[in-house]
């Protein structure tokens, strides 16, 4: 302790390392000492939290949404419906348990993914024990909750006189989180039309971006040749700065082109998902009709009913068609049916019987 630095950067590093090495019990005791050290009018008695309801880390982990999942659905029309009421781990000054209370469109920003970067305007309206703040998706963590974070949130909820989610709410949140939204969501016509318009506009933008990138690449190559041909140091430095700016602009155009390609692929996948959903519905209806027909035929597979007229002895020689005004059949004619399943030679069934 005598050799411990008291101020400066080394002192802060020392304190941070000690804080990481402390156990959860030591951290809670340290927070208690800090609370006691406050002025009396700012102190909160620890006995207040003794009867506070608590949720376990396992229960909160079942309803937590990772940043990667939010990025996966961020450009889909069901993103607002999916993210509402979900819990996230937000990194501000320290990790906190927050609940998403809504989503709104803000200024565009980029999100890092495994395939590169994508652009979005979605801002999350996060709430921690009644305090709301709009945050980008980039501040959401992929790591799981810790016990002290969940305990801190439960205590703050109890302090602000807010109720924790019950078992039914947690079950509902868990089912919504585990649902496969890309396959189960049904796109309506307006959403498909909007996605098609966005796809067409992105194609036009991609053409403009490609042309701009081509011109910038030509200017960059010319600037490099000019830089190599200059001998004066000052002019050479200015030429190099111009080449560096053009190189950065070309890189920005390439990043923009890549992000537009990824957005177009997501739109196309959503359209294919709707087509596949419709096709599966049609196939189910057709298969159902086929099964019904099979059941009807399999009930009496040897029955084949045929209807015709049997002439009497008086009409054996009359083969011409009946005259106008006469009945198509004579009085002795009868309509009969044959059941081939009744025996070897068949059985004639009289309709009068």
pLDDT tens across 67-86, in order? 999 998 888 888 999 999 99
Q: Are 32 and 47 in contact (CB under 8 A)?
A: no
8-state DSSP, 142: S
Torsion (CA) 33, 34, 36, 41 in degrees, nearest 10: -170
268-to-90, 154, 196, 265, 272 alpha-carbon distances in Å:
32, 43, 9, 5, 6
pLDDT mean over 28-36 = 62
State the pLDDT confidence band at 283, using cuts at 50, 70 and 90: confident
Beta-strand relationship, 131-136 and 116-128? antiparallel
For the chain, how big is the Rg over CA atoms in Å? Answer: 39
Residues contacting 187, CB < 8 A, separation 6+: 77, 195, 270, 271, 273, 274, 277
- Whether 153 has a pLDDT exceeding 90, the answer reads yes
* CA 247 – CA 241 distance, rounded (Å): 10
- Whether 335 has a pLDDT exceeding 50, the answer reads no
- Whether 206 has a pLDDT exceeding 70, the answer reads no
């Amino acid at each position: 302790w005598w050799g411990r630095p008291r101020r400066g950067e080394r002192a802060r590093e020392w304190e941070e390392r000690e804080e990481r090495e402390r156990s959860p019990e030591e951290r809670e005791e340290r927070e208690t000492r800090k609370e006691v050290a406050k002025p009396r009018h700012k102190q909160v008695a620890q006995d207040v939290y003794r009867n506070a309801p608590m949720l376990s880390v396992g229960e909160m982990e079942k309803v937590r949404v990772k940043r990667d999942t939010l990025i996966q659905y961020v450009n889909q029309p069901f993103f607002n419906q999916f993210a509402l009421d979900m819990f996230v781990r937000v990194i501000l000054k320290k990790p906190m348990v927050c609940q998403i209370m809504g989503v709104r469109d803000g200024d565009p920003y980029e999100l890092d993914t495994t395939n590169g970067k994508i652009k979005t305007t979605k801002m999350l309206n996060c709430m921690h024990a009644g305090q709301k703040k709009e945050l980008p998706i980039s501040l959401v963590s992929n790591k799981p909750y810790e016990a002290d974070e969940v305990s801190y949130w439960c205590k703050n909820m109890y302090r602000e006189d807010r109720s924790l989610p019950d078992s039914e709410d947690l079950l509902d949140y868990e089912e919504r989180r585990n649902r496969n939204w890309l396959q189960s969501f049904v796109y309506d016509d307006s959403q498909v039309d909007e996605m098609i318009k966005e796809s067409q506009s992105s194609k036009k933008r991609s053409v403009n971006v490609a042309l701009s990138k081509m011109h910038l690449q030509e200017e960059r190559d010319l600037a490099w040749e000019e830089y190599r041909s200059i001998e004066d140091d000052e002019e050479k430095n200015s030429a190099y700065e111009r080449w560096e700016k053009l190189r950065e602009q070309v890189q920005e155009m390439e990043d923009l082109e890549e992000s537009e390609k990824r957005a177009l692929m997501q739109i196309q996948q959503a359209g294919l998902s709707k087509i596949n959903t419709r096709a599966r519905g049609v196939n189910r209806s057709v298969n159902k009709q086929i099964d019904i027909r099979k059941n009807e035929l399999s009930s009496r597979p040897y029955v084949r009913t045929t209807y015709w007229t049997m002439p009497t002895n008086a009409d054996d020689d009359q083969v011409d068609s009946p005259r106008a005004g006469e009945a198509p059949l004579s009085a002795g004619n009868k309509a009969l049916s044959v059941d081939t399943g009744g025996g070897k030679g068949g059985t004639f069934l009289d309709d009068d019987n």
